[in-house]
């Protein structure tokens, strides 16, 4: 079943013009839309693949609840559950494999990502599991970092649940009520793309900083 959902999600991404178009992705999913949402959230948080539109997907789905025929409470529960289970899988991967999965020259599982998440966790402690939900890429790698730490799963689960529920509730309710504003409801595509772009800004800033740092090191 998981393989079917993942395959469907992969096909829909290419058919709908890519990850920058959550509206087309959702409206083109037909009766599988809720399964696609769950699959994307789980993949982003559970299998260490950070380049999916989690924030914009939730926001856009909430905007389109009437068209998608998904009650808002159902959407929130589905998102929170997928996020919580995904983070639990990430924790388990960190606990089981540690840093063995990460390589400096890897395409996705780069050592620098886990180092960044490690710094984030060290700075904010257990609360990082809540804060990281709202930071693209960081939310993917904090759970395995916590799995590598001494934090017991019971304590991790508490913060995991708080973070997953908060993420789902905030983005879903924001999308649902903002969708009642005509100018937003009539420009769903633009809003969705805008959210994706905004979520990528921190990543872009980090890339620029790292590039400047490398250039500075070469000049020394």
Collapse the DSSP code of 135 into the 3-class scheme (helix H, G, I; strand E, B; otherwise coil) and give the result.
Answer: coil
pLDDT-derived band of residue 4, with 50, 70 and 90 as boundaries? very low
For the chain, what is the mean pLDDT?
A: 76
103 - beta bridge partners?
A: 110
Q: How far apart are CA 24 and CA 100, in angstroms?
A: 38
**What percentage of the chain reaches a pLDDT higher than 70?**
70
Q: How far apart are CA 86 and CA 49, in angstroms?
A: 11
Tell me which of 134 and 176 has the higher pLDDT: 176
What tens digit of pLDDT does each residue of 204-219 get?
Answer: 665 566 566 666 566 6
Which whole number is the average pLDDT over 166-172?
91
Quote the DSSP letter at residue 52. Answer: S
Q: What is the pTM of this model?
A: 0.71
Of the candidates 56, 66, 51, which has an alpha carbon nearest to the alpha carbon of residue 23? 56
**What would the two tokens of residue 131 be?**
């804060």
């Amino acid at each position: 079943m998981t393989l079917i959902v993942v395959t469907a999600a992969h096909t829909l991404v290419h058919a709908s013009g890519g990850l920058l178009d959550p509206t087309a992705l959702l409206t083109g999913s037909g009766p599988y839309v809720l399964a696609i949402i769950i699959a994307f959230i789980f993949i982003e948080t559970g299998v260490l693949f950070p380049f999916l539109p989690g924030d914009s997907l939730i926001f856009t789905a909430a905007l389109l609840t009437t068209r998608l025929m998904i009650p808002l409470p159902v959407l929130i529960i589905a998102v929170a559950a997928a996020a919580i289970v995904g983070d639990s899988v990430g924790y388990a991967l960190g606990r089981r494999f540690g840093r063995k999965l990460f390589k400096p020259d890897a395409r996705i599982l780069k050592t620098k990502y886990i180092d960044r998440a490690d710094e984030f966790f060290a700075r904010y402690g257990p609360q990082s599991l809540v804060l990281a939900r709202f930071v693209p890429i960081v939310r993917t790698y904090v759970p395995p970092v916590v799995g590598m730490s001494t934090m017991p799963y019971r304590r991790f689960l508490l913060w995991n649940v708080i973070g997953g529920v908060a993420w789902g509730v905030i983005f879903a309710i924001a999308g649902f009520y903002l969708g009642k504003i005509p100018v937003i409801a009539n420009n769903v595509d633009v809003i969705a793309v805008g959210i994706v772009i905004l979520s990528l800004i921190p990543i872009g800033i980090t890339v620029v900083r790292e590039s400047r740092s490398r250039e500075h090191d070469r000049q020394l």
